[in-house]
Amino acid sequence: MPFRAPGAGVLGPRPPFQPQHAMTAGHRGGVPQNAFDTAALYAALNSAGVPQAPPSTSEWYFDTGATSHMSSSPGNFPSSSINPSSSVITVGNGASMPVTHQARTFIPTATHPLHLNDILISPSLIKNLISVRRLTRDNNVSIEFDPVGFSVKDLRTRAEMLRCESMGDLYLANGKKGGLNVGDRVQRSKCGSVGTLCP
C-alpha cells in the first residue's frame, strides 16, 4: 500500500474547513467579484442532459440553512411592498449574488397570516426560499417536519395553522389542494380545514 500523508484521503488532501452556512446575507457596496453566474449554471445543466427550465416564481421551499427569506423575482410581490437594496447573498461555496430589492408578504392560513419580512430579491436565485429561522422568530410559530410534509403550529397554543404535503426531496410550501399562493387570502368560511386554500 503506498504511503499517504496524514489527512490525505484516496482523493487527495481535504479542502480547508468552511463554515456550514447554506446562505447568508450581508450589505456590500458595488458588484461582488465572485458573483454567481446563473447563465453558466443553466448552460452546464443543459450540456449535462438536464432540461433547461426557468425557475418557477410561484414555488417556495423551506430552508433551515437560510438566514433570510429569498426570491428570484420582484414580480412575486405587490409593488407597494418592494424597496431597492444593495445587499448580497453569499451561498455555500462562497459565491455572491447581488440583491436588487427587498420585499414583504405573507402566507395565508386559516387562523392568521404568516408574515415574511425582509425578503431578499436576487434574479440569480433558482428557488424561492423561506428561512425557517426567520419564519419561526417573526411569527412565534414552530414547524414540524415529517416524511410526507410539515406542519406550522402556533407556538403558544400548539394549534396547527398550516399543513403542507411535500413528497419531493425538498419541503415545498404548498396547500392541500395545489400550490400555496404566497400573498393570497384564505377565506375561513369557505374552507373546511386548517391550511385549505380558497380561490
Q: Which residues are catalytic?
A: 63
Contact 70, 3 (CB under 8 A): no
Unique residue bearing C-alpha cell 454567481: 36
Q: How far apart are CA 73 and CA 77, in angstroms?
A: 8
What H or E segment, with its residue span, contains residue 150?
A: strand 149-154
Closest among 70, 151, 154, 155 to 104, alpha carbons compared: 70
Report helix, strand or coil for 139.
helix
Strand partners, 130: 62
Closest among 165, 93, 179 to 128, alpha carbons compared: 179
- Tell me the helix, strand and coil percentages in the chain, rounded to 5: 10, 35, 55
